């Protein structure tokens, strides 16, 4: 037994004692292969998963390094069965490889013939393969490169892709760093992606993921297709690229519901690509409209399922996914790994905060009690109606007013899920509301007014969860959410985490309030959403609505 900070358990959980003097060193050592599950005040819980171990292999770590790390930092003897399992799981990655054959084109090659024989007999894979070239090599239909990787991952034999990338159509793109500089972690993230050729960069909201995308484009110096969540995000990407790179407005096209421009750099929304007419996707030709050298996926954790299928055809292109969290509520993290690429760079929120690049956050849950009449209505309602009833109680309006009085003059977002509730709040607060039916032009006008201080409060629906640049928001009050969505919690907190200065070090504290109805599913869902914050090291304080004035 040693005095290490880590307890390694046979169920593949790792417990890290945060107050230990070697905790920071240990956390850095296990981060490439262990997935953080919870990080409350004193003991953080990590888990070893096949996907996490394969991510580590893809990033160049081998089983010996993982085993040595566990043995070095573990306080107690590491279960032998776990070490064997780690080694065997990691050894599965790379036994199958996708390679370019000089005469046969794309091929699947194995250094372990029984594994190849096993996968050749899988029904889902049969149609993706061509002729057997020799005992260890089989031809692959080029259009099936992505589908095959996806299928092999599900079979537990993830393929290493050595088939390479096309350079695409060359187009000069340079960063113009006259009045700004890439931060070290942004440069490291872009370089980690470039050396890997494809993959995902995980950075907190407000940490400058757009600049990482721009740096990746400067590496590629080729035509680029950028896929984003909505039109507002598309226009913000365009503004940033014009400001930060050598690209001019004429070189950047928008491809959305409103505009259909194809330029050397084209920014398209997920919605337009997934639009279906008579059973077909009419805008899919955009993927082949130019010889793209790079595909950028913004908010990759929100990638709609049809885009995964389309992405399967883009395997010869370099691909970078940008996200604040790899948590997907639909459990398709494996599709991100196989179709876009492994995680190439991940910076914990708290690390970026400690450098002063994002604001520290104070997270408070305010609990209200439903009035007797509302409790009876809630108790007798159908299960699918209960969350709406609990989330939309009128008691929350009074709490919002109290919190607004406490933070008078500070730029504040009031965020919710239900339009009727938001309309009521907007009226009670005398503030504008932004919802799905608000035009893009009006949204941008209100965001600009908020940015300049003309509007100090905005009431927003879930349309403001993603890719909305609100650099001056200091307070967020959440009244309802998308059930138990952790990714939504990440985005909403991220709306606040902009630093107080451009150079780091003087960040203001962001205030994040969630108003929850106790003894209801509202409280249950809130607990699930908060898991993300716990995973990132943020602790929630819980107060009663009556005590808001004492905060």
* Per-residue pLDDT reduced to its tens digit, 93-116: 989 999 999 999 999 999 999 999
Q: pLDDT tens-digit profile of 273-293?
A: 888 888 788 888 888 889 999
Residue 308 lies in a domain: yes
**What single string gives the DSSP state of each residue in 290-316?**
S--SEEEETTGGG--HHHHHHHGGGTT
Residue 138 lies in a domain: yes
- The angle that helices 383-391 and 372-379 make with each other, rounded to 10 degrees, is 160
Shared domain check, 120 and 103: yes
Shared domain check, 126 and 107: yes
- Tell me the mean pLDDT in the region 511-526: 87
Asked if residue 433 has pLDDT above 70, the reply is yes
Shared domain check, 104 and 57: no
The enclosing H or E element of 38 equals: strand 35-38
Asked if residue 300 has pLDDT above 80, the reply is yes
Joined together, the tokens standing for residue 63 give: 């089983």
Joined together, the tokens standing for residue 475 give: 């307070």
Shared domain check, 437 and 520: yes
Decide: 369 and 518 in contact? Cβ < 8 Å: yes
Shared domain check, 259 and 314: yes
Q: pLDDT tens-digit profile of 537-549?
A: 666 788 898 888 7
Look at 250-264, 350-364, 519-533 and tell me which has the smallest mean pLDDT. 519-533
Shared domain check, 120 and 73: no
Domains held by the chain: number: 4
Q: Which of 177, 187, 235 is nearest to 208 (CA)?
A: 187
Q: State the first-to-last Cα distance of the chain, in angstroms, to the nearest integer.
A: 45
Decide: 172 and 242 in contact? Cβ < 8 Å: no
Residue 167 lies in a domain: no
Residue 18 lies in a domain: yes
Tokens 């932004």, residue? Answer: 434
Shared domain check, 424 and 531: yes
Shared domain check, 509 and 406: yes
Residue 172 lies in a domain: no
Residue 223 lies in a domain: yes
Which domain-ending residue is among 37, 69, 92? 92
Q: Which of 208, 487, 202 is nearest to 347 (CA)?
A: 202
Shared domain check, 399 and 314: no
Structural domain range at position 155: 96-161
Start-end of H helices in 74-141 = 80-92, 113-120, 123-126
Under the banding of pLDDT at 50, 70 and 90, the label for residue 487 is low
For residue 509, what pLDDT is reported?
A: 81
Round the average pLDDT of the chain to a whole number and report it. 86
Which domain-ending residue is among 92, 107, 141? 92
Asked if residue 507 has pLDDT above 60, the reply is no
Cα-only R_g, the chain = 25
Decide: 531 and 38 in contact? Cβ < 8 Å: yes
Residue 295 backbone dihedrals phi, psi, to 5 degrees? -115, 125
Shared domain check, 372 and 343: no
Asked if residue 6 has pLDDT above 90, the reply is yes
Residue 168 lies in a domain: no
Which domain-ending residue is among 322, 347, 372? 347
Distance of CA 475 to the CA centre of its chain: 22
- Tell me the mean pLDDT in the region 13-32: 91
Decide: 75 and 4 in contact? Cβ < 8 Å: yes
Decide: 508 and 474 in contact? Cβ < 8 Å: yes
Which residues lie below 8 Å from residue 518, measured CB to CB, with a gap of 6+? 367, 368, 369
Residue 45 lies in a domain: yes
Shared domain check, 425 and 517: yes
For residue 483, what pLDDT is reported?
A: 45
Joined together, the tokens standing for residue 180 give: 């700004």
Shared domain check, 270 and 296: yes
**For strand 540-544 and strand 96-101, is the pairing parallel, antiparallel, or unpaired?**
unpaired
Distance of CA 148 to the CA centre of its chain: 24
For residue 140, what pLDDT is reported?
A: 94
């Amino acid at each position: 037994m040693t005095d290490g900070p880590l307890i390694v358990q046979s169920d593949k959980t790792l417990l890290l004692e945060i107050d230990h003097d070697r905790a920071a060193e240990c956390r850095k050592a296990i981060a490439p292969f262990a997935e953080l599950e919870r990080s409350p005040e004193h003991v953080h819980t990590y888990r070893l998963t096949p996907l996490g171990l394969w991510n580590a292999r893809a990033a160049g770590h081998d089983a010996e390094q993982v085993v040595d790390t566990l043995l070095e930092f573990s306080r107690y003897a590491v279960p032998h069965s776990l070490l064997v399992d780690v080694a065997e799981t990691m050894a599965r990655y790379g036994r199958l490889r996708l390679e370019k054959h000089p005469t046969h084109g794309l091929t699947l090659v194995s250094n372990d013939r029984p594994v190849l024989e096993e996968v050749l007999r899988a029904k889902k894979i049969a149609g993706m393969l061509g002729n057997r070239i020799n005992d260890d090599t089989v031809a692959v239909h080029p259009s099936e490169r992505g589908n095959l990787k996806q299928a092999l991952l599900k079979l537990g034999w993830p393929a290493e892709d050595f088939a390479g990338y096309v350079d695409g159509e060359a187009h000069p793109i340079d960063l113009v760093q006259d009045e700004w500089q890439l931060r070290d972690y942004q440069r490291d993230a872009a370089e980690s992606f470039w050396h890997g050729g494809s993959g995902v960069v995980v950075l907190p909201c407000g940490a400058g993921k757009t600049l990482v995308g721009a740096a990746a484009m400067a590496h590629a110096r080729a035509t680029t297709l950028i896929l984003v969540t909505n039109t507002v995000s598309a226009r913000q990407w365009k503004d940033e690229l014009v400001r930060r790179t050598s690209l001019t407005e004429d070189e950047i096209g928008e491809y959305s519901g409103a505009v259909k421009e194809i330029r050397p750099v084209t920014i398209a929304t997920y919605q337009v690509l997934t639009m279906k007419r008579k059973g077909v996707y009419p805008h899919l030709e955009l993927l082949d409209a130019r010889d793209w050298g790079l595909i950028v996926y913004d908010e990759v954790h929100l990638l709609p399922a049809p885009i995964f299928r389309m992405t399967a055809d883009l395997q010869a292109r370099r691909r970078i996914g940008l996200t604040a969290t790899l948590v997907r509520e639909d459990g398709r993290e494996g599709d991100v790994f196989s179709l876009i690429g492994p995680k190439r760079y991940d910076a914990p929120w708290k690390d970026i905060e400690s450098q002063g690049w994002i604001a520290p956050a104070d997270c408070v849950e305010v609990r209200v009690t439903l009035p007797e009449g509302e409790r009876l209505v809630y108790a007798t309602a159908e299960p699918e109606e209960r969350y709406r009833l609990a989330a939309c109680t009128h008691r929350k309006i009074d709490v919002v007013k109290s919190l607004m009085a406490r933070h008078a003059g500070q730029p504040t977002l009031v965020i919710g899920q239900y339009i009727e509730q938001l309309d009521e709040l907007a009226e009670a607060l005398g503030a504008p509301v932004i919802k799905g039916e608000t035009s893009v032009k009006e949204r941008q006008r209100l965001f600009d007014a908020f940015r300049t201080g003309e509007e100090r409060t905005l009431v927003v629906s879930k349309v403001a969860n993603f890719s909305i640049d609100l650099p001056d928001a200091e307070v967020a009050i959440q009244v309802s959410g998308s059930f138990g969505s952790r990714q939504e919690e990440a985005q909403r907190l991220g709306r606040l985490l902009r630093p107080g200065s451009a150079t780091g070090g003087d960040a203001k504290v962001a205030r994040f309030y969630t108003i929850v109805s106790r003894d209801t599913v509202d409280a249950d869902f809130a607990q699930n959403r908060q898991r993300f914050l716990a995973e990132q090291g943020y602790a929630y304080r819980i107060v009663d609505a009556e005590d808001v004035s004492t905060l």
